[in-house]
Each structure stands twice: as C-alpha cells, then as structure tokens.
Amino acid sequence: METFRVKTIVDTNRIRLVAFGLVAISLWILFRLFFLQVVRHDYYALFALNSHEIYQKLHPSRGSIFFQDSRSKQEYPAAINKQFFLVYSVPKEIPTNDVASTTAALVQLLNYDAGEQKNLIEKLASGDSYRVLAKKVDSQAAEKIKALGVRGIYVTPQDYRFYPEENLAANVLGFTVLDDEGRMLGKYGLEGYWEKKLAGKGGFLIGETGAMGSWITLADRTGVQPENGVDLLLTLDRTLQYTACESLHKSMEKYKAKSATLILMQPMTGKILAMCSLPDFDPNMYARVDDISTFNNTAIFTPYEPGSVFKPITMAAALDLGLVNPDTRHTDPCQLEVNGYIIRNALRKCYGNHTMTEALENSVNTTLVWIQEKIGTDRFRDYVQKFGFGSKAGLSLNTEAVGDISSLEKKGKIFGANGAFGQGLSVTPLQLIASYAAIANDGRLPKPYIVEEVRYPNGQKEKTEPEYEQVISPRAAKLLSGMLVSVVENHYRQARIPGYFIGGKTGTAQIAEKGKYSDDRTNHTFVGFAPADDPELVVLVKYEEANEKWAEQTTIPVFKEVMQFALRYYGISTK
C-alpha cells in the first residue's frame, strides 16, 4: 500500500508540472498576440511597405542599353528602367464592412473584369498580412488609389524594364523577368549575356535590433551600399536598324518565309550596324509570345547548310595556295561520281570549258569539287576553320551556335566534295558574313562585335577595339573580290547599284530531311559588299523556306534596298 501511495503522489506531481507548462505557454501566446496586435500594430501594418523601401535601398539599379546614331554619336535608349507601382493590401487591417466599398473603388481604377473582381474580394477578405493586388500600375492610377485613403491599401514604387522602341532589335536585346523577390533577371540576347554586369551588386544592412527583432533606430543601420549595373552603348545604328528590319519584314511577308535574317556590318572593324531576326516580339510583352523559339536570334543561333554562297570560301583557299587564278580554265564534266554518289550542277546544266571567275558566276558545282580535290581535304578543312566556321565568333549575345563542320573530319572524298559547294556542313549567318568581311578586308577576318562601350558606375569606360586575324593573303582577297564583282555584274544585275561596284554571291540550299534533300524546301542567302574597290559595308540577307525557287529572287531586292540606303546614309562616294 505504501508503494502505491508514493506512485500516486509522483504521477500527480507530473500532471501538475505538465499543466503548469501548458498554462505558461498559453500565457506567452496571449502575451505575443497582445504585443503584435496592440503594442506593435503600427509596426506590422507598415512592415510590407518598409520591406519594399528597404529593398529599393539594398538592390542596385539595372544598367541601361543604348542605340546610337553612328554619324552624330547621338544616343537613344533601347532598354531602361521605368518606375511603375505595386498595389498591395494588408487585409487584416481592412474592416469587414469596408471590403465591398474598397473592392468597388479598386475595380474601377484598375479596370478589373468580373473574374478579377471576384479574386480581389477574396484577397481583401482573407485576413492575411500581405497580398499583392496589382503590378505595373501607372503613376496616374497609383495617385488616385493613394487619394482614396482606404485602410489597408498601400502603393509603393517598383522599377520595371522598359523597351521604348518595342520590337526594334528585340532578339538582340532579349528581355527581363522578375523573380520572387522582385529582382530583374535577364533572358536571351544582351540582357541574358550581360546579366551579372547589368544587374550590379546588391548591398546589405548591419545594425542593432531590439528584443523583439526590430531596428532600434534608422541611424543604427550600417552596411555596404549597392553597386549599380553597367550601361552598354551598342554599335547598332538606330536608323539603319529600323530601315533594314522594316525592309526585311515586308519581304518576309511577301515571300511567306518561315524566318528571316539580316546583318549589316563594317568589314574593316567587325562592327555590327544592324541585326534583324524575324519573327520578332515586343520585349515589354514577352509573355504574349506563344512559341519560345521566337526569342532566339536566328543570326547567331540557327545554323544551316549555306549552299553556293559558301563557294567563295573554297575559291579563297585555292587562290591563297596559288593553285588557281581567276583565269584558270576547267572543262565541266557535267557530273561526277564520288564514293558512289553522283554530283551534278543545278538543273543538271553543263558549262563546258570556263574560267574560275565564270565558275563562280554560274555556280558550277563540279568545278568547285575539282578545286577542292586540288586543295586536299586536310588543307580545305584548315581553311574552313581559319575563316571561323565550326567555332563561335565571340559575339557578346546569348546564345551563339558554332555550326557543324565535323563532316570534314570524316574519311571519304564525298565529304570534302560536298563541302566545296556548301553541303554537308552548317554555318550561322554571323559566321558567313564575317567570312565575306575577310574577303572584303584584304584577307583579315574581323571579330564581330555589337557592344561599342561599357560604362561603369564609377565613370570608367571600356571601349571595344577591333580585332583581326589574317586568314588569306591580301592578293588572294583582292583577286576574289574582283571575281565576286564579276558575279554581280554578269549574273546578278538586279543587285547592281548605280555608281558603285558590288561584290557578292547567292546560295539556294536544299534543306535536308530524313537523310535526303528536299525538292521544294530551301534556304536562300545573299552576301554582298560595297564599294568593292574599298569596301565599307557588307550585308547578309537570309530566308528560311521562302516561296520562290531561287535566292536571287528573294534576297537581292532587300540587299539592294538596304545597301543603297546605307551608302547614302554615310555619304560614301561613288566610283
């Protein structure tokens, strides 16, 4: 009995201890509720607003991007930060009786539809501590909401990315999205490639806090100030960009092409003056794009088999090695058998005895194969690589493709033979225009660039300097330039511009599908430079699956329009 009595006393003490603990916890909870809802009510009512203000102070301003007038050096904003407003609520501050009237006032100012109105009522009646009601509200609507003086409704400024020129150079610029903390994150194009430098570096606060975790005073806050992002001045000329892209857009619709690309470059520097990629989009409303492939910049992202526009690269190698000259003659065999494959000319034409210049004029496949055999597969591959194919050109944009010239590594003469006239390998438009720039620039391959100057918050400026690599001799380049002038003068007369000599070449390339080349799906390209005696501009035009049969029908009219405008724009003298 004594043992049972002792055990009962112990159990009773444990129960009392547990009960005491529960009472203590309950009292602490009541105390915290009283403290939060009564003593600290004002602090927590403004917590969301304060957090936004602190965010603005701790996070840097994203750098701006500018177009330019390359003649006057005047600058135009391409991507800047624009202040809009965030409207949010602290629902637990809103009296139940005021929910209906508050909803009615906000619906009118924010132009909500019926579905949004129902959602708004649910948010305001939720009793939560913080709910976002609207983003990217303009200043006029924000001021009217402030003037309502409604309890529990707050308005705070917030920076968004703004593209004043809308679709202009959208695929070059890219766009930004907002993360969960309201930070802008760059995607695609310049915004993606330069994300870290455009975004800058965030700061932080250090300071003493009270027992409840709040700052004692504003003056007690110390830390590191944020560092704003860099500004970028582009090489893109606003007028040339607009003119070139408008011309390309109209012709793309006319020829019902799947996509289109245009690049305008200075061959002596590698400076890109215009770069168009279609279809495009408005980066202010990127979320409305249905197909995300629209965000890709076809000028750098989409490799393709170039076809006959690649033939001058084969000829360049032969001229540089001294294996041929413009007047070297060859008799067209009409067709060749290489490793069991038959190679013919377009439309199965036969050109008889002709010169190397005439081989380019008439785009004779069999002669280019003969030239490639004289060069040899290894040397041919080396020249293709020297001209920049199979590697990135190094343009500071997301995302550049390298193309594919791996077929030239394979055994078998057929791979080099196909490569001689632009089949069996893939290139990007950027690589292709750079190779023609080398021909126009005395054999010096320029490194393309699109950012002329990087400007740091401390005032420091970093200017891009042109870079070159000698890939063929000046003599070979001059000879080939003259041959390409002959191509335009004698074969592509519609590309001629009165008062100027133009050098250039087209390519109508069948699109490979399921191991065979399509009979009706083709890519069209033309690349040309002017004035040919002292080239200052080179233009590439490319269409994917245009509804005309030959490249000269689709690409040359746009080339001529853009080149003629650019020559006059810069006041480049005639011959």
- Looking at per-residue pLDDT, the higher value among 548 and 41 belongs to 548
Task: Please tell me the predicted confidence (pLDDT) of residue 98.
Answer: 77
- Looking at per-residue pLDDT, the higher value among 381 and 516 belongs to 381
- Looking at per-residue pLDDT, the higher value among 209 and 488 belongs to 488
Task: Please tell me the predicted confidence (pLDDT) of residue 418.
Answer: 97
Task: Tell me the pLDDT tens digit for each residue of 358-415.
Answer: 999 999 999 999 999 999 999 999 999 999 999 999 999 998 999 999 999 999 999 9
Task: Please tell me the predicted confidence (pLDDT) of residue 216.
Answer: 43
Task: Tell me the pLDDT tens digit for each residue of 420-470.
Answer: 999 999 999 999 999 999 999 999 999 999 999 999 999 999 999 999 999
Asked: is 235-285+295-569 a CATH 3.40.710.10 domain? The reply is yes
Q: Residue 45: which pLDDT band, with cuts at 50, 70 and 90?
A: very low
Task: Please tell me the predicted confidence (pLDDT) of residue 222.
Answer: 53
**Over 50: is that where the pLDDT of 218 sits?**
no
Q: Residue 217: which pLDDT band, with cuts at 50, 70 and 90?
A: very low
Task: Please tell me the predicted confidence (pLDDT) of residue 303.
Answer: 97
Task: Tell me the pLDDT tens digit for each residue of 258-284.
Answer: 999 999 999 999 999 999 999 999 999
CA distance 161 to 63: 10
What residue type is 485 in one-letter code?
V
Q: Residue 509: which pLDDT band, with cuts at 50, 70 and 90?
A: very high
**Over 60: is that where the pLDDT of 2 sits?**
no
**Over 90: is that where the pLDDT of 82 sits?**
yes
Asked, colleague to colleague, whether 44-162+195-229 and 235-285+295-569 share their fold, the answer is: no
Mean pLDDT taken over the chain: 88
Task: Please tell me the predicted confidence (pLDDT) of residue 488.
Answer: 98
Token pair of 32, please? Answer: 């915290």
Tally Cβ neighbours within 10 Å of residue 484: 28
Task: Tell me the pLDDT tens digit for each residue of 337-371.
Answer: 999 999 999 999 999 999 999 999 999 999 999 99
Tally Cβ neighbours within 10 Å of residue 426: 23
Tallying the residues shown for the chain, one arrives at 575
Dihedral, CA of residue 293, residue 297, residue 300 and residue 306, to nearest 10: 70
φ/ψ of residue 67, rounded to 5: -80, 175
Domain boundary assignment for the chain: 2-39, 44-162+195-229, 235-285+295-569
Task: Please tell me the predicted confidence (pLDDT) of residue 202.
Answer: 76
Q: Which residues is 131 bridged to in the sheet?
A: 89
Task: Tell me the pLDDT tens digit for each residue of 233-246.
Answer: 999 999 999 999 99
CA distances from 570 to 238, 350, 566 (A): 14, 43, 6
CB 215 within 8 A of CB 73: no
CATH topology of domain 44-162+195-229: Penicillin-binding protein 2a (Domain 2) (3.90.1310)
Q: Residue 46: which pLDDT band, with cuts at 50, 70 and 90?
A: very low
Ranking 39-48, 97-106, 150-159 by mean pLDDT, the lowest is: 39-48
Task: Please give the radius of gyration of the chain, using alpha carbons only, rounded to the nearest integer.
Answer: 34
Compute the average pLDDT of residues 325-346.
Answer: 96
> Which residue in 398, 396, 394, 436 sits closest to 306, CA to CA?
436
**Over 70: is that where the pLDDT of 219 sits?**
no
DSSP string of 116-147?
HHHHHHHHHTS--S-EEEEEEE-HHHHHHHHH
**Over 60: is that where the pLDDT of 531 sits?**
yes
Task: Please tell me the predicted confidence (pLDDT) of residue 416.
Answer: 97
Task: Please tell me the predicted confidence (pLDDT) of residue 48.
Answer: 46
Compute the average pLDDT of residues 520-545.
Answer: 97
**Over 80: is that where the pLDDT of 107 sits?**
yes
- pTM, two decimals, is 0.86
Rounded to an integer, what is the distance from CA 428 to the centroid of its chain?
A: 15
Ranking 126-135, 170-179, 194-203, 318-327 by mean pLDDT, the lowest is: 126-135
**Over 90: is that where the pLDDT of 212 sits?**
no
**Over 80: is that where the pLDDT of 215 sits?**
no
**Over 70: is that where the pLDDT of 313 sits?**
yes
